[in-house]
Amino acid sequence: MPRFFTRPQLSVRRLLVPGGALALLAVGTLGFRVADAPLDLIRSAFATIYQSYVDDVPVDRVVEHGIQTMLKELDPHSTYLTVSEMRRVRDEFSAGFEGIGIAFERLTGTPDTAAVQSVLPGGPSEAAGLLPGDRLLRADGKSLLGLPDSLIVRTLRGPGRSSLELQVQRYGEPSPRTVRITRGRIPVNSVEAAYLIDDETGYVRLVRFSRTTTDEVRDALSRLSTMGMKRAVLDLRGNGGGYLDQAVRISDLFLPSGKTVVTQQGRTTQVFKTERGNEFEALPLIVLVDGSSASASEIVAGAMQDQDRALLVGRRTFGKGLVQQQRELVDGSAIRVTIARFLTPSGRLIQTPYTRGETPEEYYASKRDRQSRDRNLRLEALLSEVPDSLKYRTPAGRIVIGGGGILPDVLVTDTLGTATAVVLRQGLIDRWVRSFVYSRATTLRSGYRDGSAFVASYRIAPEDYNAFLDYTSTNLADDRTSAATWRSRLDLERLELDALLRGRIAGRVFDRESSLRLYNVRDRTLEEAMRHWPEATAMAR
């Protein structure tokens, strides 16, 4: 069978690692040649459609669909990114953009209206007095009602120091108010939280691998060390990936120099090793992972596990171990094409097996099925089911499992109470918290100096918790289970629900770290991790 592509000569500017739907690998110019026959066939088909079709041809949609169809024949992670998707990716991994510093959301029942979800502490909107729940009506005299999210984002963003006149409707006020906001630099941080869980345990939540990730993690660990940290939890749950070089550099913070972090295997093979070594080499370390930890997160987790450096706790990771090269097209959109696979230091493929040509829906459904099976088994049972061909050994002789994703050393399958999981899945907690915060945003914001003060002293009043139970039990009731039964089930999980509610309120009123500090007190994965410091400490010696 003829080969229609010669191997490209790549001018590589930066390597990235895609996570889920996010891009990972950016490249410069491509120098490959396409044989005349297939290219002529594509040109001929398009020309026939364009010249002969009875109606006007929607050229943009036809071309976009054609690109997507070609990529579907490859693998689940070779994708097409629209112009707006590329803009969002650049913002997320550039570590910042110019804007007003809010997150907004659509209101239930009025989807044409967006409202402030949270306000960045210290950002332009906080300085201007915006609060959660403020409905966004007009920007510089132009209506925001009915606009898609992408257009609202483009309207609110703009050059730093430029001015924006925003009209909002505040909860409980009869008339709209107008505020003037001076746009500024809005950071997109990789480290979402860094604090001491107790007198000696540091906690660092890492949500992406962007250009500043290693510096952020190093600074966080250094700061916590001065506060007395003697051991650390690195939380990679929900982290979908980012830059490959940052994954290698993060691993370098904890491993001696010369250790393999990951191998990239394609038409050529490249091994990435640590170079510097660091003062955190002897720091006892536990890494938290789950089914949304992907790509760069799996590289770090796999390196820590395979090099016997850290104990992994949580759930099997996503299994995203394909390397994409990304090329921007002439209109600002882009395609990502798989060029290699990632292997952990012991030789395990990170990528979960897939059937070539299967739809994304089929691919993700099989992943969900696998995660469901994991939740119903203990680690010992999973190990007994794995064939010898998928068992690998670390330098210390520990058995680690291949076959896709990274299976943690300590498997935590029951991460939420049964009733709590139902309430979360149906969105009832978010809806109740949204209404609660909107109605009390002024009081909540002015009643506490900052997020730390809120964490230290805020408690949900008994009448408010009862209102929450009334709301959720009423909405959950059906012919099989009464509201009274649901209320009783929820009340059995009161401590977990209370931590979750206070955390969600803190996240809207203050910041994500405040939210995590409140909820982590009842986080079952973190609770389990804290029981395993003897094993993690032994690995650090």
Q: Which of 118, 251, 320, 511 is catalytic?
A: 320
CA neighbor of 274 nearest in space, from 290, 258, 286: 258
What gap in Å lies between CA 121 and CA 353, rounded to an integer?
43
Residue 118's region, left for phi above 0, alpha for psi from -120 to 50, else beta, is beta
CA neighbor of 85 nearest in space, from 335, 375, 427, 341: 335
Q: Token digits for 92?
A: 């997320």
Terminal CA-to-CA distance of the chain, rounded, Å? 55
Is 295 considered catalytic here? yes
Does residue 107 contact residue 430 with C-beta atoms inside 8 Å? no
Q: Token digits for 446?
A: 């002015």
Q: Which of 252, 306, 498, 511 is catalytic?
A: 306
Does residue 183 contact residue 162 with C-beta atoms inside 8 Å? yes
Please state the φ and ψ torsions of residue 211, each to the nearest 5 degrees. Answer: -65, -25
Q: Token digits for 506?
A: 């803190």
Does residue 163 contact residue 183 with C-beta atoms inside 8 Å? yes
Helices (H), 160-260: 213-226, 244-254
Q: Token digits for 234?
A: 């690195």
Does residue 215 contact residue 248 with C-beta atoms inside 8 Å? no
Q: Token digits for 90?
A: 């650049």
What gap in Å lies between CA 317 and CA 298, rounded to an integer?
7
What gap in Å lies between CA 166 and CA 180, rounded to an integer?
6
Is 142 considered catalytic here? no
Q: Token digits for 508?
A: 């809207």
Q: Which of 190, 295, 297, 333 is catalytic?
A: 295
Neighbours of 485 (CB within 10 A): 13
Is 320 considered catalytic here? yes
Neighbours of 147 (CB within 10 A): 17
What gap in Å lies between CA 411 and CA 419, rounded to an integer?
22
Burial of 372 (0-12, 13-18, 19+ CB in 10 A): exposed
Provide CB contacts within 8 A for 79, sequence distance 6+.
21, 71, 324, 335, 336
CA distances from 186 to 95, 119, 194, 207 (A): 9, 11, 19, 17
Q: Token digits for 453?
A: 């003060």
Residues forming the active site: 295, 306, 320
